[in-house]
A and B are shown apart, each in its own frame.
Chain A
């Protein structure tokens, strides 16, 4: 058994199951997506699964009747040998609400946003931009070791966060602090994490911008790319088992779609019928790799369809489009208990991070162009101001206030104590193991005996 087991991993799926198992299965209630009816029952309803495939049947009427119930569904035959095009002649169109000047297009399908929400979204985008500017400078001045900006992508994080409920779980990549900002993370909390001081919720364990907050349902950022994707599906499965009125929203970039985890998670989410919204920030660049070198498909939206997931392409710089698409996606994910993919097209205006100088691999005028053309903040500002909900005075006042707040937060964070020694040893396991208790004891003894060999600023 051992040997053929390994050789025949795929083959095993098609072997018949013993009759006892067959008889004991609960009868099928309905063919699609009620929470009770997942997984194993599909194997006994292959003809029903085939219904989706009818869309691909040939135009040839005679041959349409000739099909076969292959495993996976009924397939029609054709005598014409034609290969599917490697990419569709016409690219998938991009949903937007506002035009370049911030005017809502009359044909646009969208739900109206009220003043309170619009102002909160806009001011959030401003706050994010200002926070980014100052913290980026702080890194350049050597006050923090690393920083990553969201320039050009403010709409994606703020508008998507606005469309979600606080119960929805967020599994971010790293360019979405806007979501945390929306949910109430304060400037002090952001800055403390960047400085890794005693008040950092991360207890000084991670590099700057690796925020995490359980109370805000924002999972701690993990550096390996795309690992949050299968984790999101798992968390969504947990929500599904609990029948919660919530979904998981996971963010990732265009580069992430090359990782194996991306494919595994989309595929698995579709099979598992997990309530997860995959939100791809396709900003054109993965550090220095442009999307033309990342994949050859029509972006990311077609990949969702390839895995059997409902997908949409949205203008990532249009706050209202993002808001609407995410709102609807969330409803579909929860009501229909299925994954949704949103590809938000945008541009990474800033460098990848403070460790990058993007002028080395892309033309400066391209960057400049995108800074102004369809700039998410200015586009939305035009719309909000035209509605009479914002003004130039409020703009300058707000910017000045936030600037002051961030600078003050930095000054306080710099002076705050560093994390104490016991933060080194806790949380490796739920309970501190004996060897670490012993190590801590030894370290304390050694520091006491040779204080000159150790930094002065480690609180004991």
Chain B
């Protein structure tokens, strides 16, 4: 749901210079927006944030260990686990054979008996091969065993679309895992989110599904001094209001949309959910009661998505406060195509969010494109 920043994998394919130009412009404006809202002085990529969080938690607790394909010798498929094998050795950074069902099950079993595994899926699309263990073994064990078996495991990895990777590498699984009682599902955006939430996830006694985003790994964000502390932790289940506004609430991330809307006189309150389960209904509803309008944004498929849940929650709790129907912006209801132009059409772009915001505010769209 945070894929409005497009970072093309340079090694992967050739790009037209025009497209690259556009992207660089966007990245620059994102960067400037970041600095505008920064409270700290240091900058850190999401990748480094995750790596440092893993490093610190492994140093603090000897029962924490990392397991997954390519996490060790290869330094991690996305280099998130870089340097950990050298530092902690092969017993705590375990390279696995190719069997998601195998290592997810093994992770759960080791969690049953006192270890705290951090299991990496190369992408959450491959977690489908292990979903029985995530749902039936991890999520339900504490309940089914009446508290005798708890599962302090973290399943992490990139989720949602990347850039040009096709249908089987692009699905967002937030809604799938978010519907299961017994799991906690986290969706970090910034480096501070990544650090704080991963640490919280590792320390949590319940199974946590930690959905990262490949395109954000290389993005730099300012981090406060507090966030750099090794005991830093963010609470699970609290959303963050990235930007305050008064006209409309937008859930998920859309800083750039807020930037554009400001010019048109629409002040948007942007909520970075941070946690899908438990969903911070209190923050969302409080915001909607203030602005009276809501647009939900996500990259996943529309039916039974996260926006649907947020919409239902708002209708149940804050119906009287709504001045307009809730709008959901989601990915297209198709398996993700590969071709760059088609892929772009399959996911929400800034313009889609802006148009939706305008519709919800009953203002005419000034961008002459189809609604």
Closest residue of chain B to A212, judged by CB? B145
Q: Counting CB contacts under 8 A, is B229 at the interface? A: no
**Within the complex, which residue of A43, A265, A430 is in contact with B106, where a contact is CB–CB below 8 Å?**
A265
Task: Please tell me if the beta carbons of A2 and B110 are within 8 angstroms of each other in the complex.
Answer: no
**Within the complex, which residue of B90, B99, B107, B150 is in contact with A234, where a contact is CB–CB below 8 Å?**
B107
**Within the complex, which residue of B101, B163, B206 is in contact with A429, where a contact is CB–CB below 8 Å?**
B206
Chain B residue numbers with a CB within 8 Å of A1 are 9, 11-12, 78
Chain A residue numbers with a CB within 8 Å of B69 are 9
Task: Please tell me if the beta carbons of B112 and A12 are within 8 angstroms of each other in the complex.
Answer: no
Chain A residue numbers with a CB within 8 Å of B86 are 21, 24
A202 to B278 CA separation, bound complex (whole angstroms): 25
| Given A2-B214, A21-B86, A230-B102, A202 and B72 contact (CB-CB distance below 8 Å) | no
> Which of B129-137, B252-260, B348-356 is the contact stretch?
B129-137
Q: Counting CB contacts under 8 A, is A113 at the interface? A: no
Q: List A residues 431-454 near B (Cβ within 8 Å).
A: 433-435
Total A-B Cβ pairs within 8 A? 204
**A40, A202, A429, A435: which has the most chain B beta carbons within 10 Å?**
A429
Task: Please tell me if the beta carbons of A202 and B145 are within 8 angstroms of each other in the complex.
Answer: yes
Closest residue of chain A to B107, judged by CB? A234
Task: Please tell me if the beta carbons of B111 and A234 are within 8 angstroms of each other in the complex.
Answer: yes
Give the shortest distance, in Å, between B169 (CB) and chain A (any CB): 6
Chain B residue numbers with a CB within 8 Å of A210 are 144
Task: Please tell me if the beta carbons of A39 and B105 are within 8 angstroms of each other in the complex.
Answer: no
**Within the complex, which residue of B106, B145, B165 is in contact with A268, where a contact is CB–CB below 8 Å?**
B106
Q: Mark A412-443, 1 if CB is under 8 A from B, else 0.
A: 00000000000100111110011100000000
**A200, A232, A237, A265: which has the most chain B beta carbons within 10 Å?**
A237
A180 to B183 CA separation, bound complex (whole angstroms): 30
Q: Mark A1-25, 1 if CB is under 8 A from B, else 0.
A: 1111110011010010100010010
**A4, A38, A235, A427: which has the most chain B beta carbons within 10 Å?**
A427
Q: Counting CB contacts under 8 A, is A390 at the interface? A: no
Task: Please tell me if the beta carbons of B73 and A238 are within 8 angstroms of each other in the complex.
Answer: no
A164 to B262 CA separation, bound complex (whole angstroms): 71
Q: Counting CB contacts under 8 A, is B367 at the interface? A: no
Task: Please tell me if the beta carbons of B101 and A260 are within 8 angstroms of each other in the complex.
Answer: yes
Chain A residue numbers with a CB within 8 Å of B101 are 230, 260-261, 264
Q: Counting CB contacts under 8 A, is B261 at the interface? A: no
Give the shortest distance, in Å, between B136 (CB) and chain A (any CB): 5
Q: Mark B226-241, 1 if CB is under 8 A from A, else 0.
A: 0000000000010000
Give the shortest distance, in Å, between B143 (CB) and chain A (any CB): 5
User: Could you list 15 A-B pairs, sorted by A, with CB under 8 Å?
Assistant: A9-B98, A38-B91, A41-B90, A214-B149, A220-B145, A222-B137, A229-B105, A234-B106, A234-B109, A235-B112, A242-B114, A260-B99, A268-B103, A427-B143, A433-B278
Beyond the given A227-B132, A268-B96, A271-B97, please list 18 additional residue pairs across the A-B interface where CB-CB is below 8 A: A2-B165, A6-B169, A9-B98, A12-B77, A17-B73, A39-B72, A40-B72, A212-B144, A212-B146, A222-B141, A230-B105, A231-B109, A233-B109, A234-B108, A235-B110, A237-B110, A241-B115, A242-B114
